[in-house]
A and B are shown apart, each in its own frame.
Chain A
Amino acid sequence: MNTTSILLSGAAAAAMAAALAGGLVLAVPERPAGDAAAVPPAETVRIAPGTLLFPEPGAFLRDGRPVAQPRRSLRLAAPLEIMRHQVSVGAYRRCVAAGACSPADLPRDAAPDLPVTGVSHIDAEAYAAWYSRQTGRTWRLPSAAEWAHAAGTRFVGDLWDGAGDADNPASAWLARYRAEGTTGAPAAPPQPRGRFGANEKGVVDLAGNVWEWTSTCYRRVTLVGEAETRATLENCGVRIAEGRHRAYMSRFIRDGKSGGCAVGTPPEHLGFRLVREPGPLARFALLWGRLTGAQAEEPAV
């Protein structure tokens, strides 16, 4: 199998590939030695560079009071290759069978084409490392900003931005509780691929009932003045999962329900999808663009 056609799924990339001819593909081996044929390549979507208004994850303090998360305008300068679908039960099982991943907390009879759930951030990273070895390309979890960029109109973020009445700390807790309030109805099980449809960028099942791990760590940020930082304390033991709302989860947690706080609505299911770092071909294409005077691209954040 050859991943080239999938890598170059965007129209611009296809044009570039035509211009570059086949010699380069032959010159750059896409796979290491070994039986990689057993791993079907994941279908990816190429998200064009763009700008998004991104509510920064984490807790923000000013003058010792919780304040609303800053919303920053972010430019993602490089194209983003992201899996069209969440990693499936069947794909994850291959990693388990290879001895590179721990079994997910799933019923043994879970259908292979369901999104894998019951996986921790640690499990997701182990899968990314194994999958990178299998494909000879670098796969990793998206950052929260990359996820938001790919999610487009499906992006939700925190249901409560952290703002509250300065004189009444309880007002913030009450606001968040009401924002995340639930009817107590049972969570639906993970749904077959495609149940929640594609967004405007062609990425499928975003913000359905499977939350997706990102690489972004929890931060507590002290702001001074209008937008100045600050002291930042990063806790990478807690990572951000995005989905129907943003969740801050201990990275070893597999069951979303058990990882939330004492109150507030936790994720229903935890899964993930990966992004692929630009390969030699794409890096060459970027360079080519610069050399030929086409629009220069900045590296992704």
Chain B
Amino acid sequence: MKGSQAIIKSLTDEGVDVVFGYPGGVLLPLYDVIYDSDLKHILVRHEQCAAHAADGYARASGKVGVCIGTSGPGATNLVTGIATAYMDSAPIVALAGQVGTSLIGNDAFQEVDTIGMTMPISKHNYQAMDSSEIPQIIRSSFYIARTGRPGPVVVDLPKDVQEGELDYPENITIDLPGYKPTKKGHPLQVKKAAEMILNSKKPVILAGGGVIHSDSSEELQHVSELIGAPVTTTLMGKGCFPEDHSLSLGMLGMHGRVASNMIVDECDCLIAVGCRFSDRTTGDVSKFAPNAKIIHIDVDPAEIGKNVAVDLPIVGDAKIILSHLVRVISQTKGQGKPDWVDYVKSFRASCMPRLSFDDTPLKPQQVIKEISEAVTDDTIVTTDVGQNQMWMAHYFTSRNPRKFISSGGLGTMGFGFPAAMGAKVAMPDNDVVAVCGDGGFLMVCQDLATVKEYDIPVVVCVLDNRYLGMVAQWQKLFYDERISQTKLKAMPDFVKLAEAFGVNAYRVERPGEMKEKLQEALKSGEPTLIDVMIDPNEILPMVPPGCGLTEIVGEYKVERENPSEITYRPSAQETGGD
């Protein structure tokens, strides 16, 4: 068969049923096979959206997402999406066309060094130089993308390699002597971790995206309840632990909940699972969890000790390690810390953020509250980047893994909408809602055509403040309110914009309308845009860069105005005998 046919056969053999792509000259052989193949191809309107859609598909389903772009500009347009997936460890395979092998290096038409360009932003990349390599390369790419710490893999496919003939092998063996991810944690380390936890008085769990990738939410909850450790999450970890659980503290970090930031500051044992201690999570590392011994569980050994000094590392798969930890700890008596748990619960109650506001223009808190009320546990929400993202991260209650999808590491504006598109394609039975900023949505709005054409019923909520709100916030707080180039003076009427694409749209301006329109939109089963006019002046409380997590600026409006003073008083049982 031909190389192009082998590509499609390899994808099908990997269980791929849909790809997001955009054709071009060097991809003609491949698209000629796609023409009458069973593989569903979704024609996006910009390659960046193909990569983000593949990413959203992967994060929502746990399966590998696939995107395709042509050589040169197609590949450069994919780059932002590949880097986004890399930073957040999302498993995607990006197929890029390349000029014919005899032209490589000649600055041929639409030639770009895709391999060189994607080396630092992919888990691995391959250039197929012979058609016969295709089956092995694609098999290995999927294996690398989804195993260990997941990530994007790029495959560069020169035109003549797609055209060449090959015998498709019966058996394909993966031969990667340099790639052996550790799964099982070292038993001695697990035992030591158990001792450290049992000897602590104020344990806290910090859960990251690794908990979601390793599908270990249940194990995490088990550990938390068993040892009486409240759970805070990174942005990537949001949803891995039910945020309405009395032990949930919400997100930690620069825009974290007060409860999270304060309790992490106070804890004496931090059990970090599948997270990488990004600067957005830790604040000034020298002031991070100053009283805590840190246990770090991660599948990627290079994350251990990279940003934060760790007292006890355990390398391996979080699911295996957490269940091992449960087994070891269950055998011990008196694992719980009831006084710590009581204290955490009442502290948490005292600083729950206020969500209800009946102002017009709408307060973002009220909007997020209404979104929370309109959706179910099965709804997948994606966010864009900026204030919209941090409002969602801070105020939205997420209860299940893979239901909150956001660009964390790269912070890519324009991610939310195409990621929602990919998530909906992956999980057609789940409602999917994208919460975007007006600036970010405008970067990818052309793909309204895609959701219309393929009838992908996502609901896009544009939080319309006519500002690059997050940057404007920093200018207000740290640059003397000099609003330089962050006011969006001319913006489209988003309702008309959507309608121009044949997509239904509403405008929401008053309290109560968000919930009503979102429910209506979800019920309609059609792609819908909701333009939400919000108060541009609301500032999100934050920890300024270079500060410790407790140094929060901006007014933190709490649900209960006058919380009674609560102090931690360990009982005799908990203070007695280490």
A interacts with B = no
**A interface residues (Cβ-Cβ under 8 A, vs B):** none
